[in-house]
Structure formats: C-alpha cells, structure tokens
Amino acid sequence: MENFKLEDFQEATRVIREFIPRTALHKSPSLSNLLSAKIYLKLENQNVTGSFKIRGAMYSVKTLKNIYEEFITASSGNHGLACAWAFSRVNTIGKIYLPEKISQLKLEKLTKTGCELIFVDGDQVEVELAAKNAAEANKSKVKFLSPYNDLNIIRGQGTIGIEIFQQCPKVDVVFVTVGGGGLISGVAAALKLQKPSIKIYGCLPKNSPVMKESIEAGKIIEMESKETLSDGNEEQIIEGAAGVGLASMIKKAPEIKGKFVVSILCGGNIDEKTHSKILFDRKKVRKTRIVRSLEEPELIT
C-alpha cells in the first residue's frame, strides 16, 4: 500500500496549475435549506474537458514526458478525452483504446482532438487488456496510463482535496463518487492528511456495487452491472455518476445536519440523447427538484 504524503498532492497541484485553473466551490442555498447543512458543490463538471479526469492525466503526462516516447490508455470517454488534451499540451504521442460502443458526444470530442483512436470489440475490461498488452510490448518506451490504478493518476485526482480544503477549511464531510477508485483514493488521502477528522463517503449506484462488494470480500471481484442513471439540477448539467453524490447527501441527511459538506460533481459529459430523455421523463415524474435517480445509492464510509 502506498503511503502518500501531503507534499505529493501539493506538488501535483503546482504541476497542473500551469494548465488547469482551480475549479469553483459553489455554495448551494437550495440544498443547504433542504438538508439543514452548509452544502457546497465542487464543480469538476466545469473543468477542462468536462471532468476531474484531466487532473490525473495532465499530471501523469507532464511528469513522465521525458521518460517515455509514447503513451497508451484505455477509456470509454472522460479519461481518454483528458489524456488526448494532455498529450496535445505537452506535444507528445498518445493512442487511446476505446470500446466500439461509447456515447456520441464523447466520440465526437475525442475525434476532434486528432489523437489516434483504436477501437476494440469487447467490454471495458477487454479494451484495457488490449491497451496494456500494446504498451507492454515496448514498455521501455511506451507507458500505459490506467484511468484509476496508477499512483500518478491518484496524485493528480487528489489535487481536488487540496483545493477543497483551501476553499472551505471548515469542511466536515465530503461525498465522492466511486468508479475505479482513483478519484476517491486521491481525494480521501489529500483531505485526511490535512484534516484527519474529516468524514469521506464513497458513493456508487446500487445497480453497480462492484467496488463495495470487492472491499467487503477483501479482493477484486467481477460482477455484471445493471443499467444506472441519475440526473442533477442546481443550474448544472452533470453526467450520471455526478448525480450519485447528490443523491447520497439526501440519503444521509440526518447525519450531516448542521455540518459543512462538499459533494464533488465529477463530470458533465452527458450524451445529448440521454439528457433529452431525462428532461422528458422528469416532466412525467419528478420526485424532487434537486436529484432524480433510478435506484438508491450505495455508500462506502
């Protein structure tokens, strides 16, 4: 297990600041009133390329550019888009492996970057394996950039924790969405190093609990995820994963009453067709003005 130091995240923050501005921490009056707490939203949906992924990608590519001649990554969208942007900023060569089925919005954005795209017929696991094998074949010159299982990626994502504490030193609780684990690993480490008493909630859709099940089993397990969808309002357009943190805050309302709370809106790259469907469905059924979800969130504390 890696023992991170606060200096790791401070240095990563310094490195990425040349390319990426600090994202806003927005105080939400509506959520604050609803939950009887001081609610803030970390607007990573407004970050470069539309998600937090640019942090880890930019830090990794910038720090490793002089070691490797080429980078390879695998992504269904956000990480790939972030890497493509990073490749162009430091003028290095990169290839992105993708599943054949990705959202039209993300595909269009990736195509516009001019980065070489390689499509793999299979799920995300098979795509990642193909990318890893390609990098391994020339590992002295080519670096595989994992979307989450990489120390530099984690250090980059942890810069969010540095910013949150700068913007809200009184923060008591932070809600972080969980996918592959890179975001919560970095954010939790950076925040705990600055304020050990802080409470971190890992939030994931009930229909996709693989991380929760893996932690409970003490090993990585494979399981099929069901369809998930969540939608946020609060004057922000966010993708499904970002809405899970908002839903989790509502679920934990009694425990966060009176506290300073931050929810990270991890991204805003939602497909136009999906967004239109959400708006149409919300006209028919609208349980709450703040968040709508097809299933309750699961939480990891």
Q: In this structure, are residues 44 and 22 in contact, taking their beta carbons and an 8 Å threshold?
A: no
Dihedral, 44, 236, 204, 167 alpha carbons, nearest 10: 40
Residue range 247-278, pLDDT digits in tens: 899 999 999 999 999 999 976 555 545 444 43
Query: How far apart are the C-alpha atoms of 206 and 208, rounded to whole Å?
Result: 5
- Whole-number pLDDT of residue 253: 95
Confidence class for position 109, pLDDT limits 50, 70, 90: confident
Which one, of 235, 233, 258, 257, lies nearest residue 246 by Cα? 233
Q: What is the pLDDT of residues 22-53, one digit of tens each?
A: 999 999 999 999 999 999 999 998 999 889 99
For residue 84, pLDDT over 90 is answered with: yes
> What is the model's pLDDT at position 285?
41
Q: Which helix (H) or strand (E) holds 241?
A: helix 240-251
What token pair was written down for 151? 């120390």
- % pLDDT > 90, the chain: 59
Give pTM, 2 decimals. 0.83
- Residue 87: what residue type? F
pLDDT at 297 over 70: no
Domains of the chain, each with CATH number or no CATH:
6-51+153-300 (3.40.50.1100), 53-149 (3.40.50.1100)
Range scoring the smallest mean pLDDT among 2-6, 149-153, 275-279: 275-279
Give the CA-trace dihedral at 103, 106, 269, 76, to 10 degrees.
Answer: 70
pLDDT at 204 over 60: yes
* Predicted confidence band of residue 108 (pLDDT cuts 50, 70, 90): confident
Burial of 196 (0-12, 13-18, 19+ CB in 10 A): exposed
